[in-house]
Amino acid sequence: MSKPHDYQTKAIILSKTRLAEADRIITFFTPEHGKIAAVAKGVRRPNSRMSGHLEVLDYSHLNLARGHNLDIITGAQTLDSFLPLREDLTRGAYGLYAAEIVNQFAMENLENRELFDLFLKTLERLSYQDNLEIATYYFELHLLKEVGFKPEFKECLSCHRRLGEEESVFNFKSGGTLCAHCAQGKPWSFPLSFGALKVLRMLQDDDYEQVKGLKLEPVTHEIEGALRNYFYYLLEKDIKSASWLDKVKKMP
Ligand SMILES: [Zn+2]
């Protein structure tokens, strides 16, 4: 959808970078236009009326004007600032991790309402629910679907045999599982126990309400490792906020 000269949108703030003394480039994700980077003028001045509404992870209503290069934010009003993400270090670290992943995968000026809804719901879950790991793995698997990288977890992608109760690997290059036989000698393979594979299938196929109470132990590390490494493979780099998240999770 092309944008009129002046337009309004709901947005979740993904990141901020310094532009000039008091200006910032704000990157945010919208339901209609995908990801947008726009200039917020004067937001570092103490009297700025917009500054408190453009923090990372704020869900805000924005007024914008099309610019030559970047659009200009002319007004901002917070709809939900997800207070628990700001008050609780662990919840906040999960929120920033999710925002970085969206920032990496969302396309500029390309509508993806499903991903927007998933991200908004995820920030609500990370704010108010208890199982932050399940909320995050569910988010990661469903994000992969919305951006065209949904992994296959039912059959071997090489011999097309349906996987039974057996060990397999998640082969990143193929985009899903290979049986132990076909996986031999294949790089970018992450071993999966049958228990981990079952959990991955449930997280991918079931509604959140059905999976939110899943017991992840003893396969938590397998699930986390499989997804982290798949993201590394797809992005060809680490997710920076993952190391902060890991640090926070280890704190007593
Ligand atoms: Zn096979």
End-to-end CA separation in angstroms for the chain: 48
How far apart are the CA of 237 and the centre of ligand 1, in A?
Answer: 29
The boundaries of every CATH 1.20.1440.120 domain in the chain are 84-250
How far apart are the CA of 165 and the centre of ligand 1, in A?
Answer: 14
Q: Which residue has the tokens 């990661």?
A: 140
- Indicate left, alpha or beta for 17 from its phi (over 0: left) and psi (-120 to 50: alpha): beta
Q: What is the pLDDT along the chain (252 residues), one digit of tens a residue?
A: 567 899 999 999 999 999 888 899 999 999 999 999 999 998 888 888 888 899 999 999 999 999 989 999 999 999 999 999 999 999 999 999 999 999 999 999 999 999 999 999 999 999 999 999 999 999 999 999 999 999 999 999 999 999 999 999 999 999 999 999 999 999 999 999 999 999 999 999 999 999 999 999 999 999 999 999 999 999 999 999 999 999 999 988
The boundaries of every CATH 2.40.50.140 domain in the chain are 6-81
Q: Which helix H or strand E contains 80, and what residues bound it? A: strand 71-80
Q: Which CATH entry fits the domain spanning 6-81: 3.40.50.720, 2.60.40.420, 2.40.33.20, 2.40.50.140? A: 2.40.50.140
The burial of 111, by beta-carbon neighbours within 10 Å (0-12 exposed, 13-18 middle, 19 or more buried), is given as middle
How far apart are the CA of 177 and the centre of ligand 1, in A?
Answer: 9
How far apart are the CA of 147 and the centre of ligand 1, in A?
Answer: 26
Chain centroid, CA 66 distance in Å: 27
Residue pair 166/179 in contact (Cβ under 8 Å)? The answer is yes
What is d(CA 136, CA 170) in angstroms, rounded to the nearest whole number?
19
What is d(CA 60, CA 57) in angstroms, rounded to the nearest whole number?
9
How far apart are the CA of 226 and the centre of ligand 1, in A?
Answer: 19
Residue pair 65/141 in contact (Cβ under 8 Å)? The answer is no
The whole model's pTM is what?
0.95
Question: What CATH architecture is 84-250?
Answer: Up-down Bundle (1.20)
